[in-house]
Amino acid sequence: MEEQPNHEKPKNDTKFKSELAAKRRERIMAQMAALQKSFIKDNPDFFTCDPKVSNADSMMDLTVDPNVGEPIAVGENQMGKSFTTERHTCILCREEQEVSVTGRCLVLSAFIQRSTVLSKNRNRKLSSDSDNIDPLFVTSDLYFGPHISTCGHVMHSDCWQNFFDQVLAKERRRPIRYGRHVSFDVDKHEFLCPLCECLSNSVIPIIPATDTETKQTTDKSNISLTNWLSGLHAIVEKANPVWIRDSSLIGENVGDKFVCRFLPHLQEILSNVSIEAKEYLEKLFEEYHECAVVNEELSPSLLDVMKNFSQDVYTTSLLVNPNPDDDRVSLMTYWSCAYTLHSIERMLRLEEKSIFSDLSSRKYNCLKAMVRYIGSSIAVFSDSVMKSHCIRILRYLLVNDYHHSSSNCCLDLDALSLLISLVITTPSLFLFDIDLQSNSKLYSMSLGNVSDKHYINLFIVFNIVQIILTQNSEDYSEEPMETEESNSQSGCSVNKSLLSFYSDVMIASGQTNIQTPNALQLELSIKANLLPFLRSVALFFHFLTNISPPQRLKDCDQTLTSSQEYDILCHYLGLNPKFSVLLESTSLRQLALIWARHPRVHLIINQNNTEVESPIELQPKLIAQPHALNHLVQLPNDYSDLINSVSQFTCPNSEGDDSRSPTMCLVCGTILCSHSYCCQKELEGSMVGSCTWHSHFCGAGQGMFLRIRDCKILLLAGKTKGCYSAPPYVDEYGETDQGLIRGNPLHLCHNSYAELHRLWYQVFSPTREYISATVGADMGATSETQPHALNHLVQLPNDYSDLINSVSQFTCPNSEGDDSRSPTMCLVCGTILCSHSYCCQKELEGSMVGSCTWHSHFCGAGQGMFLRIRDCKILLLAGKTKAPLGNVNTVLSMRLNVSDTIRHGIPEQIAHALETSSNLAAFNWQLL
């Protein structure tokens, strides 16, 4: 009976505490409610409704038409457009800003670089003559291209300009003896993102989505593919080229250069086209003009950023000086967009991810900003230049005489780059100057209209021709596996139409031994091979038209067959997935035969045939479409096999001498003699090591190497940035052995090598994580790019008696055979000194100092770290008058309290480092 209260007491305490907590919560909620009411009463204007913004608290307001079914991005049935109001917070001033063309311009920090990751022709060297590069006709081998990436952080353009001006002024004030900043070069317009410190060299303007409400009320025009082709053919055939002097070349001793322009205007040509085509083209005039904006309505800051970004892409990609009058400035931005789309699509294909669901925020923001920028780029580029680009591509594609006289055939060119250039420049045919004296003009983004839909159909056929001519015909002869799609009864007419088209193209290309393929296998194979092109096109039009993709393309968990994904992508792009409908156009089939009859097609296809002699200058070679994914070189599983493979490797510049450090390029497999003077070469006016020189031509400045005898990965980015990374070889415990110190057997870790491959495929940029150190020009024998952060103190023996024995025979250098009383080792360079004695004193700056002080003056600029071997003490020096001496129990452990260090006169920052460091190697170069 007496124990019952003891059992009830805890229960009563728990109940009492819960009641107190409930009352406390009620009291706090009442206080919060009172504060909210007080704030609303004091700030009534803060809660007024903005007619342009539906919700002031959300970062993006998204309203989709409820009557929309499956979205369609392109064509007369375009549907599913979303109305968005984007707001971002500037990372510099912390002010929230709505994205608009009239307000303060917002920008993304970006990094522009040349890349060869997608190259399918490693034998083709990067040309040093930039004048011969024509970005209007991008080669299909993608041997190099401008790649753009961003960290995704947003700033006001004026805030960023002030920030960059401060960085520039700071770097120019930095004394020369201290060197420049190790992470970026302001002479190359480089800077670090103020938030994440990612390396950047430009900014991309953030442009809002188009005013879709106006466009949706526009009367949808429609025209058949045949009539559309005939109308364009008449336009480009009547447009006469006029050669004018290039205004960018002004001055003495400058040769004449002429550029091509086309006259008359499109309105004057309409009288020569068919009535149906004329009606459609007149509707396009109205449609483009309704949605056009006068460029004076754009804010001056936005126009300036757009012009500067185009110049940054132009100068970085072609390695030339800025030139606003060069016709290639606009084309370089289109090329950079196409190359970045290629890179992202292949990265997602490598990881077997969906094209829409697995885009990271950085890639998504980069593509959105890039596509919207080039869509509005007509506002900053000359109308005559844009029209010239558009007509040149159309003449190549549609006019027989011009196509056959061109030096490029259909196998030479990249379909995606041509499509993007045409879609962006076509509005310039329908927009004319309003007031030539005031430089005012109309500009309009592409609408995703019927014209764009027909362009996609045109380049699908262009890509099909490339696939037919480059794929092995034996792939179509096998019977397909029985699936639901192969058992469909509606494919008979499709197969017959595609078979007929296949035979016509092969005959037109000059093929004689044509094997009749399996019809169904041919259809399934072409659908699968068209997917990379369609995925890139879908990404492009998603950001251009701001229409969300179908849900099935966004589901991560849903696995689609190639045929299913093809049908969904066709529906999203407003296309008919049946080849019979696409190929029923006689004009389109005739164009395909014109492309296949080009003289270079037969030459390239038969270049491996001994009966046909290919000229040396034939570039590019026959490359299968679509491109297969590039991979790093295949490494042996056993590391000893790799070491044995280079055991007989000799320096190419020495007669039979073994290479001290053979290094393998993981991109092409070339073995180089690195880390030595013997193989230095001159690059851009300075001497560089073999790896730096090789990466300049093999990777456009970027390189990934394996130092075989050290078992280290070397990453290079340009001439001055590089770092070491963990190798893909591990021991039985899964640990790496950089430097081969432990000597355990190593085997290839496929996961680590796949991670390196993924890093390379992402076109790795010099970020804080990977490329973080800069190398001076006077590194002596270590002329190869070696990051300072990887320097180490000298290696000490595990047994201290071994260290004592190593100096047992050490004698004072200034005495004849006398043993040194206190041999001391410099832990930086390993030099043994005779210290703590008058015999080795030397004069330094007018006073006599000991050998350690004298040595630290030259070895460490006054700072030194020494081990007094016979006393087992660490000696730290900071100039001639500051020298704390700490007793240590072991060489690898040291503790000094702040009072001791201050008493000995050590600087405060070094004292703090001594207090917080528990390992001698931890202070390395931070301390001294």
DSSP per position, 423-454:
HHHGGGGT--EEETTTTEEEE------HHHHH
| Rounded CA separation 863/883 (Å) | 10
Residue 423 has what pLDDT?
92
Q: Does residue 618 contact residue 124 with C-beta atoms inside 8 Å?
A: no
Q: Are residues 747 and 804 both part of a single domain?
A: no
| Rounded CA separation 504/619 (Å) | 26
Q: Are residues 668 and 779 both part of a single domain?
A: yes
Amino acid at position 162, single letter: N
Is position 387 within any domain?
no
Residue 489 has what pLDDT?
42
Q: Are residues 683 and 737 both part of a single domain?
A: yes
Q: Is 143 helix (H, G, I), strand (E, B) or coil?
A: coil
Residues of the chain predicted below pLDDT 50: 1-10, 49-68, 177, 212-220, 249-255, 433-438, 484, 486-493, 610-618, 768, 772-789, 883-928
| Rounded CA separation 563/480 (Å) | 13
Number of domains in the chain: 3
Among 369, 347, 370, 371, residue whose Cα is nearest residue 358: 347
pLDDT in tens, 664-717: 999 999 999 888 888 888 888 888 989 999 999 898 889 999 999 999 999 998
Pick from 790, 819, 851: which residue ends a domain? 790
Q: Residue 842's domain spans which residues? A: 800-927
Q: Are residues 644 and 780 both part of a single domain?
A: yes
Is position 716 within any domain?
yes
CA-based angle 743:744:750, to the nearest 5?
120
| Rounded CA separation 680/279 (Å) | 67
Is position 656 within any domain?
yes
Q: Does residue 619 contact residue 121 with C-beta atoms inside 8 Å?
A: yes
Q: Is 293 helix (H, G, I), strand (E, B) or coil?
A: strand
Q: Does residue 727 contact residue 716 with C-beta atoms inside 8 Å?
A: no
Beta-bridge partners for 85: 61
Could you tell me the pTM of the whole model? 0.75
Q: Are residues 875 and 831 both part of a single domain?
A: yes
Residue 386 has what pLDDT?
87
**Using H for helix, E for strand and C for coil, what is the string for 150-187?**
EEEEEEEHHHHHHHHHHHHHHHHHCCHHHCCCCCCCHH
Among 457, 453, 422, 423, residue whose Cα is nearest residue 75: 453
Residue 880 has what pLDDT?
74
Q: How far is CA 562 from CA 230, 470, 559, in A?
A: 33, 20, 10
pLDDT in tens, 757-807: 998 988 765 554 555 444 333 333 333 433 344 567 888 888 888 888 888
| Rounded CA separation 377/445 (Å) | 8
Is position 35 within any domain?
yes
Q: Are residues 810 and 897 both part of a single domain?
A: yes
Residue 228 has what pLDDT?
84
Q: Are residues 678 and 710 both part of a single domain?
A: yes
Is position 699 within any domain?
yes
Is position 781 within any domain?
yes
Pick from 739, 762, 790: which residue ends a domain? 790
Residue 900 has what pLDDT?
36
| Rounded CA separation 591/457 (Å) | 12
